[in-house]
Chain A
Amino acid sequence: MKTLARDSKDMTEDKKLIVNDFSIHVATVNGSGSQSSNTVLLRSIFQMGIPVSGKNLFPSNIMGLPTWFTIRVNKDGYIARKKEVDILVAMNPQTAVEDIKDLRPGAVCVSPVELNLDKIRDDVKHYVVPFGELANKASDNVKLKKLLTNIIYVGVVAELLDIDQKEIDKAIERQFEGKAKAIDLNVRAATIGREWARENLKKEDPYRVERLDLTKGKIIIDGNGAAAIGCMLAGVSVVTWYPITPSSSLCEQLIDYLEKYRLDKETGKRTFSVVQAEDELAAVGMALGAGWSGCRSMTSTSGPGISLMSEFAGFGYFTEIPTVIFDVQRVGPSTGLPTRTSQGDLMSTYFLSHGDTKHVLLLPSSVEECYEFAMKAFDLAERMQTPVFVLSDLDLGMNQWMSDPFVYPTTPLDRGKVLSKEDLEKLGGFARYKDVDGDGMTYRTLPGTAHPKAGYFVRGSGHNENAAYSERPEDYLYLMDRLKRKWENAKKLVPAPVIDHNKDAKIGILAFGSTHWAILETRDQLMKEKLPTSYCRVRALPFTQSIPDFIEAHEQVYVVEQNRDGQMLDLLRMEFPHLTAKLRSVRHYNGLPVDADFVTEHILEQERNAR
């Protein structure tokens, strides 16, 4: 039989077991209800103590288009996307042929009998399942049958991989918390799948799970949820937003948390205010208005919204108003691939707005950092009196990540330099933009402060120390140079890079954000190729001194990022022109989360070419 496999000659008859190290790729139709089944599958493995990660590769569509869910199971704790698919669950007729073509020989394919996928490739291990018949057993209701098919494949896969049924039941209970009927139906359907597989399928593949003890006490959460918790604990009181994938779930989760934890105990009234704005321009305008008026305020968006916020971003920088802006990046320009991931907003956000503008950017890599940097962002914004951006991305923001539970903050809120009525009584007045402390960060008052000298005028036009209109060259220079000084001082306040300096390494890797997870794995892969590496994970802009030091200390540094033009590379070249010759670049920008194989191959290739 003719095979469509890319390369079938190395199909191995490996009888060795592969335990806790594989990926499952579930192909379904968007809106078919597969999401909850996939979560059950993910969680049941997690509950067995085995490290997992789950990524949803979905289309910009509500219903009908193909969607894939990838679960990576890895005993060593690698949770980046795995390039190779080991087990395909091909439930979507639209994509089944493509999906199976992409499989590597020896991979596993679970599919409905009517798709006849076993006729297309004979170099993969097929498990053909009569899902229709099994669904008939699970329910008489046509609609339910369709939904239950999803949990039936979970049952089949659970049997094949030896996932404990108790854990499946537990995960179902959790998924459908409080809905006894749904729990019952799903548990039964999963069992139907499982029992059918036990009686009818002969296990002929190496993949299986075995209990470990590596996830005890851990949580599973998406980056947007983590950021939402961080914002709440930062004391955010004004939230303004305009819906956009992949950022919406940040504000949506935040609102849910606020409704639960930020109500006044006595009156039940809110200690926060939320507006779904008419656009991102209004959202950031409201956030700045609230920041000026004395609240911790925030908005969250993605690339198109960031573009709209441009004018206000420069205004906030120039008039020195604190607010926090989350950019959960997706693929652009324009609408681009709205449900795919990217790190393409780095450059445009760093310089967002016209004129001499530069912003503070925080670059979380993990859900834990989404949480921590959310809190950090509010402290920084109020300390520095400027908009602070947190750049996450779709992969980090919307996918499921394992993490240690978050630690309650030990430092108090830093509200920055705010003068009260009493302060003004003592001082007799103040100059809004005077650099009293020499750090570029000045004192402000809040509207409503009951003192005749508390008021000052915020203006986007030139102003002097007293916030009065001025076009005098000296005043403008003073202001711009002070803003620069403030910027320099930001370097002491932003999260420092995390550097792992390997003494044997001639080459270094520099990365940021969600790229981190592939780098961890790449470094191990390179080590096996006898190429030890050092690693610098940038966590914020402006760059701190340790970054050029890191580059200096290595022969070459590979800058790995998820955009086409190497934006981080360009920023490094710009700020450290003398180090340009040392920098090399690896760029992944097809919309999928970067995987370790890709990075490793590209580094190895450049190393070979350089020789």
Chain B
Amino acid sequence: MVQEVTSPSPAGKAPQTNKLGLTLADYKGSPSTLCDGCGHDAITSQIIKAFWELSIEPHQVAKLSGIGCSSKTPAYFLSRSHGFNSVHGRMPSVATGAHMANHKLYMVGVSGDGDTASIGLGQFGHLIRRNVPMIYIVENNGVYGLTKGQFSATADVGSTLKDGTVNRQTAIDLCGLAIELGCGFVARSFAGDPKQLVALIKAALAHEGTALLDVISPCVTFNNHEGSTKSYKHAKEVDRPLHELGFIPFYEQITVDYEPGTVQDVEMHDGSHLRLKKLGLDYNPTDRFAADRAIHQSHKDGTLLTGLLYIDQETPSFTKLANLVDKPLSSLTPNELRPPKEALDEIMASLT
């Protein structure tokens, strides 16, 4: 794994700082109130790590969510950032508006499978269609944790609830759907694989457009039993990483220390590199049809395909198409906001 943290800790004592001189603790939030062992907390840790290691200014980050246990987590990371816990399933619209007002913000949205795949499916689809630049993390546990364990729309056929109820309805695969909707960065991961997750979060940050991370995040209280396909045990068993991931930020040297053909290097818009080291499978994440096929095949096989499923950096982002002035609209001065009297005079003359 590449070491992004620059200033080494002097004499072992003082905590390590990043390029901004901030410690990992500076990227933490208030203590989590989730159940001990909840997958969501594991994801929170990797968000903290990714933002710290990439030395992103916390005040330039907007963290948003809907409603659910998962959606509570923005309170547990980046306490110096601006947070927005919105209404159930509607975080994408709030994020879109926030971005319209200030396109310089890094935006990270956290949602649940209930928040995204049920009540929020419409807004999720349209966020992707607009390609609003943000990381969209679905903390996917197959149930509604916060309302005490009902099935969500991502529950697999045959998966059971604690009381034995079996799900018979088709699961919505958010990655497959996102690819269909034209999402340019689609990844799946597992809360139990921090190394993969942190690399994906970093790469998602470098992507100019909506980046979806569907992260299997077991609910230890309501969906971690035998018979659940979203338990830690089951996920671990069926996890099939597509590749080993490494992320090299734009400000680091790239070293070529691998045998040709064993590694695929994806250059991101900001000059960063996502390094995909092959793991037996011959998988090309820039091939949309192959991605689709692999996802369907994994359903058939009952496996969990994790890693970068699909990447396309060509689709223009929402920001690009908006053709905005460079500075955030939120920083326009009164003179820039209110057209002069001549404008009104001209309009009035056209109406007489």
Contacts and interface: CB of A to CB of B under 8 A. Distances in A.
A58 to B, nearest CB: 22
6 contacts: A285-B92, A289-B93, A291-B97, A293-B99, A408-B344, A457-B84
A286 B95 CA distance: 7
Contact of A273 (B84, B93, B324): B324
Contact of A413 (B78, B104, B338): B338
Interface string A297-318: 1000000000000011001000
Interface residues of chain B: helix, strand, loop or mixed (majority): helix
A510 interface: no
Interface in B72-96: 74-75, 78-87, 90, 92-96
B324 A269 contact: yes
B107 to A, nearest CB: 9
Contact of A262 (B86, B104, B339): B339
Nearest to A311: B87
Interface string B104-131: 1100000000000000001101100010
A194 interface: no
B182 interface: no
Nearest to B33: A469
Nearest to A265: B336
Given A312-B90, A412-B334, A297 B97 contact: yes
Given A278-B126, A460-B87, A406 B97 contact: no
A268 to B, nearest CB: 9
A247 B126 CA distance: 23
A40 B226 CA distance: 77
Interface in A128-158: none
Chain B's interface size range is: 35 or more
A536 interface: no
Contacts of B322: 270, 273
A409 interface: yes
Of B30, B82, B90, B94, chain A has the most CB atoms within 10 Å of the CB of B94
Interface stretch (B205-213, B269-277, B325-333): B325-333
Contacts of A406: 344, 348
Given A269-B323, A278-B126, A447 B337 contact: no
Contacts of B345: 408
A166 B284 CA distance: 73
A348 interface: no
Of A278, A289, A291, A445, chain B has the most CB atoms within 10 Å of the CB of A289
B344 A229 contact: yes
A53 to B, nearest CB: 15
B303 interface: no
Contacts of A229: 344, 347
A282 B93 contact: yes
Contact of A235 (B122, B328, B338): B338
A88 to B, nearest CB: 29
Contact of A290 (B57, B81, B97, B324): B97
B59 A454 contact: yes
A306 to B, nearest CB: 16
Of B92, B93, B328, B343, chain A has the most CB atoms within 10 Å of the CB of B93
B126 to A, nearest CB: 4
Given A293-B101, A293-B102, 18 more contacts: A237-B337, A269-B323, A270-B324, A275-B130, A281-B90, A282-B96, A285-B93, A287-B97, A289-B101, A293-B100, A293-B330, A294-B328, A406-B348, A408-B344, A445-B82, A448-B60, A455-B79, A457-B75
Nearest to B64: A289
A281 B78 CA distance: 28
Contacts of A454: 59, 80, 82
Contacts of B336: 271
B343 A261 contact: yes
Contacts of A460: 67, 85-87
Interface in B35-54: none
9 A-B pairs with least C-beta separation: A289-B97, A285-B93, A235-B337, A294-B330, A286-B97, A293-B101, A289-B94, A457-B83, A295-B101
Given A293-B62, A447-B102, A469-B75, A233 B344 contact: yes
Contacts of A290: 97-98, 100-101
A460 B99 CA distance: 20
A538 B302 CA distance: 66
A295 B82 contact: no
Given A233-B339, A279-B122, A448 B75 contact: no
A285 B97 contact: yes
B351 interface: yes
